[in-house]
Structures are given as structure tokens and as C-alpha cells.
Amino acid sequence: MARKTPGKTTGALPIYVLNGPNLNLLGTREPEVYGRATLAEIGKAVAERAKTHGFSVTFRHSNHEGELIDWLQEARTMASGVILNAAGLSHTSVSLLDAARALDKPLIEVHLSNPYRREPYRRRSYISEAATGVICGLGATGYLLAIDALAGLLKD
């Protein structure tokens, strides 16, 4: 018998969407780089897209590396898969990489901007080493594409 999870669209575990430092400033921080959509608007659109695939979403933000690590560890048993925009921590955190490697579930890395068109230090992402796939440079649409990709991976 399938385990039922309260509040889930299909009984499947939710997709975790985790957002790192400064993403709470979306819509006002460098809109020419990151777009005008707020994190709340992205969260709403992501939940709507996930629902069309039969998934619910746990959408979270933290400016703290340790909290993101805790959530990745939690996702090992509480999520179907993870979408992670680690923001600046993508380029600096071996600890996040280790937590992502321990996940053993699909992980899609998302970046609003295209790091390959930016400063050289942004062109290396530790998270990419553990990610199933990477979507970058497409703004808020990247999150929706990540939902589509993750849902496809989970249904295969």
C-alpha cells in the first residue's frame, strides 16, 4: 500500500524548491540581471506548474548555508526530488555539494542569470557536480522548466 502524505496532490512526496542567499530580494535587486519577478511570484507559479504534473511543492528560502544543508538532508526522506538555486553559495560551498551528493534523488540546479556571461568566479558551480541537470539564464522561467524536467524524471 502506498504511503499517503497529507496535502499532496497524488500521494507522492513533494518537490522541494530551495532558494539561497539574497533571493528574497528578487524583483528589486539588480532586475536587469535577475528579472522583476519576486520570489513569492516565482513560488506561486512553481506550485501551479507542479500541480499540473500531480506534484505539490515545498518552497523555501534561506540566507543561511546551514539551513539549506539541513533542508537537503531532510529532502532525502521527505521529497521526491529537489530544485536548488543556491545563488552565490553555488560558487563557494563544498558543504552544499556534499549534502547534494548525499541526496540520492534527482536534483535540478537553477540560476536566473547565465553565470557564463558574468564574472569568471561565477562560472564554476560546486552544485553542478551533484546535479542531475542545470538550467540557467532563462530568468523565472527556468524554475518552471525545472519543474517540467523533474516531473519527467520522476515519472520515468
Which residues are catalytically annotated? Answer: 34, 111
Environment class of 66 (CB within 10 Å of its CB; exposed 0-12, middle 13-18, buried 19+) = exposed
Give the Cα separation of 145 and 127 in Å (integer): 18
Using CA atoms, how far residue 17 sits from 77, 94, 119, 146, in Å, is 15, 20, 26, 10
Give the Cα separation of 59 and 125 in Å (integer): 22
Residues 107 and 100 sit within 8 Å (Cβ to Cβ): yes
CA nearest neighbour of 51 among 82, 12, 24: 12
Q: Is 30 left (phi over 0), alpha (psi -120 to 50) or beta?
A: left
- Three-state DSSP at 86 gives coil
